[in-house]
């Protein structure tokens, strides 16, 4: 089969012919019908510092956001059948460690990530444990099906503990307008947020326009606003500040701004990953503000998948989310997709199985 393989510890990747994966008794074999490019894949492609430290197994088929059809099931598989349309929960967990046994599988101590620690989905076929196969509505658009995984990250950032009470009727800021930030805006609107503010780097008009389309009431360019950014948002909330700030950029300035624009007693969720350690005045940011802070990684298994399914059941939401997909390119042209992302001309890119 064809596969996109990271074969050398350097930038880029190769499209090569390789053997189709052999499944274990508790795994399913999936034919890829659509995949999408995640920030993680861009890091692996560019071979940045994170990838250099994180990637142990080379050569590796990368990619993890996917929609596909099951073409073979292992002997012990009971819940999935040949022909089922599925997406993949990308956390492959041991189910036996302390975290797994206390309802926190998404931070399993022995976790493997699809397309990072084991062969992923940028191929014609891939193997997946039965537990990680999420059955899709066969009518669901394949592109949308493939972006359920990052949509789950958005849901986890908005609802880290099932509590919707600080969303409905409240004011929320989303810092960062990458694909997950954009999807988050749409989720907030669906859950009844009163006002949504979005801030982003400012260079990327495509993403700023998409933020409006997703339902942001005010979209601010962090670059243009500069020092005024926090004041503009605080003024727009009668001087109170926002009830919830969701940090999705990983920019240290945005992290500080998230706390500065927060109303005392409010909540911050931090999803964006920082390049390096940063300084933050904890007294002002959290302690005297009585702030609740959530670190967000991955998505709860499998609560967020049910939440995503529930959201996508509404046609208007599904339609909105599908507009985050700005390009569909043949997987054979993956380098073009990476270029589009690099030039910030794209939000989500879906790869179609044309080699």
> Which residues are marked as active site?
40, 43
Which residues have C-beta within 8 Å of that of residue 167, sequence separation ≥ 6?
158, 159, 188, 191, 192, 193, 244
Q: Which of residues 146-205 bind Zn ion (CB under 5 A)?
A: 150
**What's the start-to-end Cα distance of the chain, in Å?**
10
- Shorter beta-carbon distance to Zn ion: residue 68 or 150: 150
Antiparallel, parallel or unpaired: β 85-88 and 65-73: antiparallel
Closest contact distance (angstroms) between CB of 243 and Zn ion is: 28
- Tell me which stretch binds Zn ion (CB under 5 A): 44-52, 89-97, 188-196, 323-331: 89-97
Identify the residue among 3, 92, 108, 329 touching Zn ion (CB under 5 A): 108
The token duo for 59 is 């050569």
Q: CA-CA distance, 158 to 142, in Å (whole number)?
A: 25
- Kindly state the DSSP code that residue 20 receives in the 8-state scheme: P
Q: CA-CA distance, 181 to 228, in Å (whole number)?
A: 21
- Shorter beta-carbon distance to Zn ion: residue 120 or 150: 150
Q: CA-CA distance, 291 to 209, in Å (whole number)?
A: 31
Closest contact distance (angstroms) between CB of 93 and Zn ion is: 5
Identify the residue among 31, 94, 124, 225 touching Zn ion (CB under 5 A): 94
Q: Which of residues 240-299 bind Zn ion (CB under 5 A)?
A: none
Helices 205-214 and 179-190 sit at what angle, rounded to 10 degrees? 20
Closest contact distance (angstroms) between CB of 146 and Zn ion is: 10
- Shorter beta-carbon distance to Zn ion: residue 65 or 247: 65
Determine, following the binding rule CB under 5 A, whether residue 145 of this chain makes contact with Zn ion: no
Which residues have C-beta within 8 Å of that of residue 20, sequence separation ≥ 6?
1, 29, 124, 125
- Shorter beta-carbon distance to Zn ion: residue 55 or 234: 55
Angle, alpha carbons 337-307-135 (nearest 5°): 70
Of 219, 237, 232, whose CA–CA distance to 171 is shortest?
237
The token duo for 300 is 């709860």
Closest contact distance (angstroms) between CB of 252 and Zn ion is: 23
Question: From the CB of residue 184, how many other CB atoms can be counted at a distance below 10 Å?
Answer: 31
Determine, following the binding rule CB under 5 A, whether residue 218 of this chain makes contact with Zn ion: no
Q: CA-CA distance, 89 to 111, in Å (whole number)?
A: 12
Question: From the CB of residue 131, how many other CB atoms can be counted at a distance below 10 Å?
Answer: 19
- Tell me which stretch binds Zn ion (CB under 5 A): 90-98, 155-163, 226-234, 322-330: 90-98
Q: Which of residues 35-74 bind Zn ion (CB under 5 A)?
A: 38, 65
- Tell me which stretch binds Zn ion (CB under 5 A): 32-40, 214-222, 267-275, 292-300: 32-40
Determine, following the binding rule CB under 5 A, whether residue 93 of this chain makes contact with Zn ion: yes
- Shorter beta-carbon distance to Zn ion: residue 101 or 231: 101
Identify the residue among 100, 121, 180, 311 touching Zn ion (CB under 5 A): 100
- Tell me which stretch binds Zn ion (CB under 5 A): 144-152, 222-230, 249-257, 296-304: 144-152
- Shorter beta-carbon distance to Zn ion: residue 94 or 225: 94
Which parts of this chain interact with Zn ion (CB under 5 A)?
Answer: 38, 65, 93-94, 97, 100, 108, 150
């Amino acid at each position: 089969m064809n596969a996109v393989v990271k074969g050398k510890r350097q930038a880029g990747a190769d499209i090569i012919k390789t053997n189709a994966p052999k499944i274990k008794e508790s795994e399913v074999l999936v034919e890829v019908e659509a995949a999408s490019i995640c920030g993680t894949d861009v890091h692996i492609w560019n071979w940045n510092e994170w990838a250099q430290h994180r990637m142990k197994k080379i050569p590796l088929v990368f990619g993890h956001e996917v929609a596909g059809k099951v073409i073979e099931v292992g002997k012990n598989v009971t819940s999935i059948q040949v022909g089922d349309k599925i997406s993949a929960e990308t956390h492959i967990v041991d189910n036996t460690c302390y975290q797994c046994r206390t309802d926190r599988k998404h931070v399993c101590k022995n976790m493997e990530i699809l397309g990072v620690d084991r062969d992923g989905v940028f191929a014609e076929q891939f193997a997946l444990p039965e537990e990680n196969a999420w059955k899709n509505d066969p009518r669901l658009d394949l592109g949308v099906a493939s972006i359920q995984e990052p949509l789950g990250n958005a849901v986890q950032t908005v609802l880290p503990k099932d509590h919707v009470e600080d969303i409905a009727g409240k004011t929320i800021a989303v810092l960062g307008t990458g694909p997950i930030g954009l999807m988050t805006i749409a989720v907030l609107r669906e859950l009844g947020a009163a006002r949504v503010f979005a801030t982003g780097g400012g260079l990327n008009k495509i993403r700023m326009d998409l933020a409006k389309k997703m339902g942001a009431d005010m979209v601010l360019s962090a670059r243009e606003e500069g020092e005024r950014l926090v004041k503009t948002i605080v003024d727009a909330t009668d001087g109170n500040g926002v009830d919830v700030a969701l940090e999705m950029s990983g920019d240290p300035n945005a992290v500080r701004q998230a706390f500065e624009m927060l109303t005392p007693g409010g909540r911050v969720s931090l999803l964006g990953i920082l390049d390096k350690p940063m300084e933050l005045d904890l007294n002002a940011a959290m302690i005297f503000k009585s702030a609740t802070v959530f670190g967000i990684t991955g998505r709860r298994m499998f609560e967020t998948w049910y939440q995503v399914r529930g959201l996508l059941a509404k046609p208007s939401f599904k339609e909105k989310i599908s507009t985050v997909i700005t390009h569909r390119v043949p997987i054979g042209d993956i380098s073009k997709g990476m270029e589009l992302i690099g030039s910030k001309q794209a939000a989500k890119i879906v790869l179609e199985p044309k080699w």
